Amino acid sequence: MTKQVDAGSLPMLSQIVPPEVLQKSNKILFVAHLALGDFTYMQACFKAFAEAYPHIKIHLWVDEVRRTYDFRQWRHLQKYVVFDWLQTCPMFEKLYTKTYSPFVLRDSIREAQAEDYPVVVSFGLARRPMYAKMVRKISKKGFVVAMTKRVRFYDFRKHMIYGALDGAIPVYSHDRTLHVSDVYANWFTGLFGIQVPHEKRVPVMDVPQQWKDDALRQLEEWSVAAKDRRKHPLVFLNAFAKPPERSWPLAKVTELVRRMQADPKWAEADFVINTIPEQWDSTQREVLAAGVPRVRLFSAHDHFFQLPAMLEQSDLIVTVETSIMHLANAVRVPVVALMRQINPEWAPIDAANTNIVYTPGHEDWINKISVDTVMEFLHMPMGSAPRFTPTQLQRMAR
């Protein structure tokens, strides 16, 4: 019988992976489909594990959920931006990053099998039976743990797959009062008995000096770096997210710039508008057509660290709910985050440096947030905006 722990509960005294197994293990493999936001908050947990078990080498398998037979997509999938960050993290001795096609996946599984891992843990939330089966295939004799969910009694296939595990973590309950960092910390408490204090869950990032210098060179080309930043603050604006429901219209971004330039507080500010490489030309045309001055266009064309390096040079970040709002906390720059109400557990964790602008309705898209509302939040002291969504506040008032 597999041992389970409720991932949404308070830290427990027992742990899924027995202490004697960890003491005898020289390495461990974690399997996860990590996005930037995931790793932003899981990094503290991996660090805590490395400190608690310094004799265990940490290997990380980053699984590509978009894995495909379509060779035309492989080139794009090979360059997943989180790889750039992970490669700078000393806690990981080995990374598995070739999982973008069924062919390289097969080779990566063979490579992992040759390691003969004594412990393998999967954080695969999607396709849970697939990941449970995969980790047992990687380690036939080791202590293997994976995510599970309640199975109907007649689903014999899933019963067999989950029954082959040594331990199981049920998918966390959708408790919107838990921040995602609480969920991740509880996973590591349940698995290994590790406590990750709240103050250590705030993300951190050490931007390599190469990319710090690159950002300064770019600012010099824009004639921004030489200015007195107290009188000429730099404002970074991001309205782009992959899903349309999390994006803000570019017309509202240029209107926000115009409104901020008319405000004495921001009258002398410089503005950087973030875009993605494939939309550079269309964004440039729209920004030029808007005719707002002191606006520069930016995109991390060459490397992931171009983005946090530019964020680090900013005095204020205004962004929709994407990884940039978490990276803002990691580089300690104040952020105004535009968020939907449906995922409050993903709010930036550093409350003192964050103001959250929620959509007016629970099901609304980001585009329902007005420029007037954003301007109101820009005048609030940082950290003074309510952390709860309007819907949550209404329920509390009843």
pLDDT tens digits for range 322-357: 999 999 999 999 999 999 999 899 999 999 999 999
Edge to edge, the sheet with strand 335-339 lists 295-298, 270-274, 234-238, 316-320, 335-339, 354-358
Percentage of the chain surpassing pLDDT 90?
Answer: 75
**Angle (CA) 367 372 373, round 5°:** 70
DSSP 228: -
Which DSSP string do the residues of 94-128 spell out, in sequence order? EEE---SSHHHHHHHHHHHHHH--SEEEE---SSH
What per-residue confidence (pLDDT) applies to 244?
Answer: 94
> What distance in Å separates the CA atoms of residue 175 and residue 238, rounded to the nearest whole number?
29
Which mean pLDDT values do the consecutive 10-residue runs of the chain (398 residues) have?
A: 46 77 97 93 96 97 93 87 93 96 96 98 91 96 93 84 89 72 93 93 94 95 75 93 94 97 94 93 93 95 95 97 96 97 92 95 95 96 82 64
What per-residue confidence (pLDDT) applies to 232?
Answer: 84
Q: What is the pTM of this model?
A: 0.89
- Three-state DSSP class for residue 352: helix
Token look-up 């004495």 returns: 264
What per-residue confidence (pLDDT) applies to 380?
Answer: 93
For residue 288, give both structure tokens.
């030029």
What per-residue confidence (pLDDT) applies to 176?
Answer: 62
Written as one letter, the residue type at 199 is E
| CB-CB contact of 365 with 341 (8 Å) | no
For residue 316, give both structure tokens.
């204020």
pLDDT tens digits for range 378-394: 999 998 888 777 777 66
What per-residue confidence (pLDDT) applies to 175?
Answer: 64
Work out the widest C-alpha separation in the chain, in whole angstroms.
69
For residue 372, give both structure tokens.
């007037």
What per-residue confidence (pLDDT) applies to 383?
Answer: 87
Residues 6+ apart with CB under 8 A from 279: 240
Q: Phi and psi for 238 in degrees, rounded to 5? A: -130, 120
